């Protein structure tokens, strides 16, 4: 058997939308062959319609200076925004659809959040410094890019294995990196080592990140934002002439992570993962096969200083989740103009979620164990076929069909006790849930039809339609208690409301129309402008209905305005646009090369039946970056502006936030094997509030008596001014 270099991703194609983000830091080579500086862009093989936006090289390296949150690396890609959570766990949103509505792959593997608050989302399992490439396929996604999702596909991959050049013998390298942020005293460090021959490669990635509570623009600490995390991944790869095998395994450990917009915090999270990927070229085409397993142990509780008692006391909530599956993909060139893609995928997820008795409150939270999800399972079997054809040098089309069969089930449960007193309802709710048939079978059908038209050397247009389907997650279907305390522990929305599942939920079906008009210079090197309007109608969108007020308080004056909500289907629609562009301002001047680029995004969403605004939609926003490069120097200034958010979802009491603008500076110098980076985030120390941050729950609890319920909690403040510095050394 022989081995070769990894075949290019099935869906990476040279698109027309070149998307710019700031890239002030020069990239250190991560392989035996140095990587060029690459901005956010679409690139790849073939003329694939709606090719993904890709982030790699210097653009990627620049952003690792300012964050330990891998999701934040995607924030400059048009259409992408971030729902605030913990310091390493924000939830990406594409065109207003986030979390489980997106398919998120880490090294080509799906990862499921094993937490009732989704504190351990997929991207929290890979450190920013370990990322070699990140791609985002927004809105209309080909069926080969994944199913069981409606908003798009995010793929984050570690650096590809490095092999020695012919005749080099044993190739070895090491990369050491560290950085510091003043706003939260954040300290990040990582080590990467490689030893390889021309056919065998061994690698090890280690990272550690630690931060205290960050400070806002007024200089106040924002409580519940500290964290500490460790990660280690080993890679072994074999290659030859026409195939390659890559095996990875590792451990991710987070001893604690605060969540400012949640009642609970993470007090333990450990993930163990193993995956293998085999690729081979044949005379008839190529084969790509992946096998994976992940085991997650997770605990929520109160971190010291924000609730009574030290770490580990209070109200422990435990979860154990496992992902197991495979994917097999084939790409078959039928003719020089026709390509067929076939695939079969299976993903099994199991979950147990239980809350041991809290002896300090044994009458309400004891004497037994509260079973939130018992023997939960979610099995997805997907099969697809996709045909891409180049009709003429100007016309390319892609059509595909996909079926995902989703089988879900969960066992019987129990509450802390059998009481049915007001505010608990353990006995009544448990009996009602256990009497139901929990097994659910969804047979979901997806379809895509895309086209790309090269109108001229300076104009390219794309348009398409996609039907995408997502079945509910385990918590949306099987979280069973309507008691205010138990319901308040469910939810990944940062809004302080409580949530109850609904076994009768139907899958979401999104029908999306989108188009992109792009103009550019003939060589596609000097300038480009792209505009993408889109419209999505979602049948059975999983929204909420109000059941009762939270904590037994009235919704009138003197009580909390927050509620116990039950997941429910409501038809909804979203529409908006993305605008992006770039221009080479000057080349070869005594002061270097100058470039400017920017993005603008806007999205609007509402329920069809009552016009209620959808939750967590980013207001109109834009960013402009001016970059200068001269020799080893790379400098950038960017200005980000965000409009006021007043179109909020009233049923969740979503906070209204004012408009704001931020200025950031970055500079880097690369000298031989050393890169030094510095920057100032939020240069003018602007006090602002995150429009997707939810409520500032931890600061309210820190400053006010527990019995006080103001109307409503304040919005979550953003970070104040931060002086950042980092150094990377390659050996």
SS (H, E, C) 670-699: EECCEEEEEEEECCCCCCCECCCCCECHHH
User: What SS3 string covers 627-675?
Assistant: EEEECCEEEEEEEEEECCECCCCHHHCCCCECCEEEEEEEEEEEECCEE
Sequence-distant (≥ 6) Cβ neighbours of residue 556 within 8 angstroms: none
Half-sphere exposure of 551 toward its Cβ, with a 13 Å CA cutoff? 14
Mind listing the pLDDT tens digit for each residue in 300-324? 998 865 444 444 457 899 999 999 9
347 pLDDT exceeds 70? yes
* pLDDT of 291 above 60: yes
Least confident of 136-140, 448-452, 504-508, 690-694: 136-140
Higher-confidence position of 44 and 264:
264
Tell me the percentage of the chain whose pLDDT exceeds 90: 80
Region of residue 685 (left: phi > 0; alpha: psi -120 to 50; beta: else): left
Mean pLDDT of the chain: 89
Alpha carbon distance 233, 111 (integer Å):
16
Average pLDDT score over residue span 645-664: 96
422 — pLDDT class (breaks 50, 70, 90): low
Q: Tell me the DSSP string of 118-164.
A: --S-GGGGS-GGGEEEEEEEESS--GGG-SS-SSEEEEEEEPPP--P
Residue 138 vs residue 677, higher pLDDT = 677
pLDDT of residue 557: 38
Return the closest-CA partner of residue 378 out of 430, 321, 428.
Answer: 321
Give the pLDDT score at 465.
97
Query: Which tokens sit at 161?
Result: 């294995």
* pLDDT at site 360: 64
pLDDT classification of 28: cutoffs 50, 70, 90:
very low
pLDDT value, residue 418? 87
- Domain ranges for the chain: 171-308+325-730
In this prediction, residue 63 carries a pLDDT of 87
Question: Would the pLDDT of 209 be above 80?
Answer: yes
pLDDT of res. 700: 74
Q: Mean pLDDT lowest for which of 55-64, 291-300, 368-377, 514-523?
A: 55-64
Pick the range with the lowest mean pLDDT from 305-314, 550-559, 618-627, 684-693.
550-559
Q: Look at residue 11 in the predicted model and tell me its pLDDT.
A: 29
Phi/psi of residue 433, nearest 5 degrees: -70, -45
CA 662 – CA 638 distance, rounded (Å): 8
Q: For 176-180, 654-658, 713-717, which range has the lowest pLDDT when averaged over its residues?
A: 713-717
pLDDT of residue 361: 66
Mean pLDDT of 261-269: 94
Rounded Cα–Cα distance for residues 384 and 404 (Å): 9
pLDDT at 37: 35
Q: How far apart are CA 228 and CA 268, in angstroms?
A: 10
User: Average pLDDT in the 20-31 region?
Assistant: 30
* DSSP H or E segment with residue 700: helix 697-703
Mean pLDDT of 98-105: 97
Of the candidates 538, 638, 620, 624, the one whose C-alpha atom is nearest the C-alpha of residue 578 is 620
- Residue scoring higher pLDDT (667 or 712): 667
Higher pLDDT, 99 or 313: 99
For residue 206, pLDDT over 90 is answered with: yes
How far apart (Å, rounded) are the C-alpha atoms in residues 340 and 131?
30
Residue 580 bridge partners (DSSP): 530, 599
Please tell me the predicted confidence (pLDDT) of residue 304: 60
Residue 61's pLDDT is: 84
**Pairing label, strands 440-456, 395-409:** antiparallel
Tell me if residue 498 falls in helix, strand or coil. Answer: strand
- SS3 at position 578: strand
Write out the two tokens for 412: 């019987």
Q: Which of 277-291, 358-372, 630-644, 678-692 has the lowest mean pLDDT?
A: 358-372
Q: Is the pLDDT of residue 708 over 60?
A: no
Average pLDDT over every residue of 222-226:
94
Question: Mean of the pLDDT values across residues 422-436?
Answer: 88
Percent of residues, the chain, with pLDDT higher than 70? 88
pLDDT, average across residues 253-279: 96
Asked if residues 106 and 132 have their Cβ atoms less than 8 Å apart, the reply is no
Q: Inform me whether the pLDDT recorded for 24 exceeds 80.
A: no
User: How are beta strands 498-500 and 563-589 bridged, if at all?
Assistant: parallel
Q: How far apart are the first and last CA of the chain?
A: 33
Buried b (16+ CB within 10 A) or exposed e, 176-185: ebbbbbbbbe
| 341 strand-pairing partners | 331, 386
Q: Which range in 261-265, 652-656, 668-672, 718-722 is most confidently predicted, on average pLDDT?
A: 718-722
Tell me how far apart the alpha carbons of residues 383 and 368 are, in angstroms, rounded to a whole number. 43
Model confidence at 568: pLDDT above 60: yes
pLDDT surpasses 90 at 288 = yes
Q: What is the CATH number of domain 171-308+325-730?
A: 2.40.170.20
Relative to beta strand 621-630, strand 633-642 is antiparallel
Q: Which has the higher per-residue pLDDT, 40 or 344?
A: 344
Cα distance between residue 249 and residue 129, in whole Å: 17
Winning range, highest mean pLDDT, from 160-169, 299-308, 719-728: 719-728
* pLDDT in the model for residue 720: 98
Residue 712's pLDDT is: 60
Query: Mean pLDDT throughout 235-260?
Result: 97
């Amino acid at each position: 058997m022989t081995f070769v270099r990894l075949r290019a991703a099935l869906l990476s194609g040279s698109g027309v939308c070149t998307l710019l983000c700031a890239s002030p830091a020069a990239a250190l080579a991560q392989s035996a062959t140095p990587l060029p500086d690459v901005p956010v862009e679409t690139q790849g093989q073939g003329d694939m319609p709606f090719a993904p936006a890709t982030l790699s090289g210097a653009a990627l390296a620049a952003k690792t200076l300012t964050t330990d949150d891998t999701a934040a690396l995607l924030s400059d890609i048009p259409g992408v925004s971030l729902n605030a959570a913990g310091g390493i766990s924000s939830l990406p949103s594409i065109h207003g659809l986030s979390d489980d509505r997106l398919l998120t792959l880490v090294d080509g593997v799906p990862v499921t959040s094993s937490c009732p608050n989704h504190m351990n989302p997929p991207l929290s399992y890979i450190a920013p410094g370990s990322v070699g490439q990140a791609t985002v396929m927004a809105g209309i996604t080909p069926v080969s890019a994944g199913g069981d999702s409606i908003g798009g596909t995010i793929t984050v991959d570690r650096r590809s294995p490095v092999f020695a050049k012919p005749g080099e013998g044993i190739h070895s390298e090491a990369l050491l990196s560290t950085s510091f942020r003043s706003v939260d005293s954040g300290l990040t460090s990582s080590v990467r080592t490689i030893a390889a021959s021309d056919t065998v490669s061994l690698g090890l990635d280690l990272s550690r990140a630690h931060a205290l509570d960050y400070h806002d623009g007024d200089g106040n600490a924002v409580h519940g934002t500290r964290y500490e995390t460790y990660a280690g991944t080993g890679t072994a790869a074999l290659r030859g002439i026409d195939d390659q095998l890559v095996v990875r395994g590792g451990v991710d450990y987070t001893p604690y992570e605060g969540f400012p917009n949640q009642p609970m915090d993470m007090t333990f999270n450990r993930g163990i993962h193993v995956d293998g990927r085999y690729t081979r070229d044949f005379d008839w085409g190529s084969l790509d096969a992946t096998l994976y397993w992940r085991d997650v142990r997770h605990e929520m509780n109160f971190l010291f200083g924000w609730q009574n008692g030290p770490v580990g006391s209070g109200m422990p909530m435990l979860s154990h989740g496992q992902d197991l599956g495979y994917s097999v993909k084939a790409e078959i060139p039928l003719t020089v103009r026709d390509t067929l893609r076939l695939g079969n995928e299976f993903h099994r997820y199991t979950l147990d979620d239980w809350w041991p008795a809290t002896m300090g409150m044994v009458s309400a939270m004891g004497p037994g164990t509260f079973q939130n999800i018992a023997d939960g399972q979610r099995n997805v079997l997907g099969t697809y076929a996709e045909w891409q054809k180049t009709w003429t040098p100007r016309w390319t089309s892609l059509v595909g069909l996909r079926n995902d069969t989703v089988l879900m089930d969960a066992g019987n449960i129990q509450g802390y006790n059998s009481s049915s007193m007001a505010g608990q309802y353990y006995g009544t709710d448990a009996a009602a849930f256990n009497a139901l048939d929990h097994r659910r079978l969804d047979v979901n059908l997806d379809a895509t039809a895309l086209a790309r038209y090269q109108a001229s050397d300076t104009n390219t247009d794309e348009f398409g339609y996609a039907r995408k389907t997502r079945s509910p997650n385990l918590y949306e279907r099987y979280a069973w208690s309507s008691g205010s305390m138990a319901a308040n522990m469910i939810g990944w929305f940062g809004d302080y409301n409580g949530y109850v599942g609904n076994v009768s939920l139907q899958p979401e079906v999104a029908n999306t129309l989108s188009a992109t008009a792009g103009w550019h210079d003939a060589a596609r090197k000097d300038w480009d402008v792209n505009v993408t309007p889109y419209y999505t109608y979602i049948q059975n969108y999983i929204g909420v209905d109000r059941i009762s007020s939270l904590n037994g308080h009235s919704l009138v004056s003197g009580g909390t305005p927050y509620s116990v909500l039950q997941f429910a289907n409501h038809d909804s629609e979203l529409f908006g646009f993305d605008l992006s562009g770039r221009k080479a301002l000057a080349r070869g001047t005594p002061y270097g090369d100058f470039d400017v680029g920017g993005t603008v995004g806007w999205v609007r969403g509402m329920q069809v039946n009552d016009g209620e605004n959808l939750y967590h939609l980013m207001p109109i926003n834009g960013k402009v970056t001016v970059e200068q490069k001269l020799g080893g120097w790379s400098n950038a200034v960017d200005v980000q502006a965000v409009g006021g958010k007043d179109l909020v979802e009233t049923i969740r009491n979503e906070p209204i936030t004012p408009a704001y603008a931020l200025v950031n500076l970055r500079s880097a110098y690369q000298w031989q094997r050393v890169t030094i980076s510095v920057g100032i985030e939020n240069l003018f120390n602007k006090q602002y509030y995150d429009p997707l941050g939810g409520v500032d729950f931890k600061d309210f609890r820190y400053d006010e008596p527990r019995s006080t319920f103001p109307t409503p909690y304040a919005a979550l403040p953003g970070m104040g001014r931060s002086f950042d510095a980092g150094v990377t050394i390659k050996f």
